[in-house]
């Protein structure tokens, strides 16, 4: 019962974040940039997980973008029976710094949620706060990104930390 109430609160919170993000994005540039990548996640409660991540970012100007993204990570190193699968949507603000060579740094921060999708999971669920750094590097027809995005997960009884390492392409 306690777990169901927690998931309902997370879903309500996520819906509010997405509505706020959608309203902000509706006022920005019409053509978003899409990114798709892989992530390796270190969790203070679950250990190492691997997964995929997608993001859409709408440029407001040359330095600022608003983004909505989601990821799916599996913590499967203890076997199938003990595996935890986590869905983690986020709304972010991305600030791109000046290019200083072949790669351009950026900072990102925002809010989201951590939602375990399997019933037997011990993983915490709740709202998240994240602040990270990344770099983009131009290729011929697309852009490569890599980033580290430390996240604080506010659970019902404790705070845990997650550190995703991501690499992917923006098209």
Domain CATH code at residue 49? 2.40.160.20
When comparing pLDDT for 53 and 20, which is higher?
53
Bridge partners for 112 per DSSP: 90, 128
Report the C-alpha gap between 63 and 60 in whole angstroms. 8
Q: What is the pLDDT of residues 21-76, one digit of tens each?
A: 555 555 544 689 999 999 999 998 888 999 999 999 999 988 999 999 999 999 98
With b for 16 or more beta-carbon neighbours within 10 A and e for fewer, the 60-89 pattern comes to: beeeebbbbbbbebbbeeeeeeebbbbbbb
* Whole-structure pTM value: 0.81
How many distinct structural domains can be found in the chain? 1
Who's near 125: CB < 8 A, 6+ residues apart?
3, 6, 7, 10, 113, 114, 115, 116, 155
Span 105-122, mean pLDDT? 87
When comparing pLDDT for 19 and 132, which is higher?
132
Report the C-alpha gap between 23 and 127 in whole angstroms. 20
Among 60, 68, 69, 139, smallest CA distance to 95 is for 60
pLDDT at 112: 96
pLDDT greater than 60 at residue 19:
no
Q: Domain span at residue 11?
A: 2-170
Among 45-59, 74-88, 118-132, name the most confident range: 45-59
Report the C-alpha gap between 145 and 127 in whole angstroms. 25
Strand 103-116 and strand 126-138: pairing?
antiparallel
For residue 2, name the pLDDT band (cuts at 50, 70, 90): very low
């Amino acid at each position: 019962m306690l777990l169901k109430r927690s998931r309902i609160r997370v879903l309500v919170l996520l819906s509010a974040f997405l509505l706020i993000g959608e309203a902000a994005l509706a006022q920005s540039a019409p053509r978003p940039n899409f990114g798709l990548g892989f992530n390796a996640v270190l969790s203070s409660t679950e250990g190492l997980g691997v997964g995929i991540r997608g993001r859409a970012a709408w440029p407001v100007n040359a330095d600022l973008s608003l983004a909505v993204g989601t990821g799916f990570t599996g913590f499967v190193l203890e076997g199938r029976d003990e595996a935890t699968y986590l869905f983690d949507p986020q709304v972010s603000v991305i600030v791109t710094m000046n290019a200083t060579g072949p790669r351009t740094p950026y900072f990102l921060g925002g809010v989201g949620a951590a939602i375990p999708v399997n019933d037997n999971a011990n993983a915490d669920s709740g709202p998240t706060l994240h602040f990270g750094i990344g770099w983009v590097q131009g290729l011929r027809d697309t852009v490569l990104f890599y980033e580290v995005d430390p996240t604080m997960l506010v659970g019902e009884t404790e705070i845990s930390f997650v550190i995703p390492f991501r690499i992917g392409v923006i098209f």
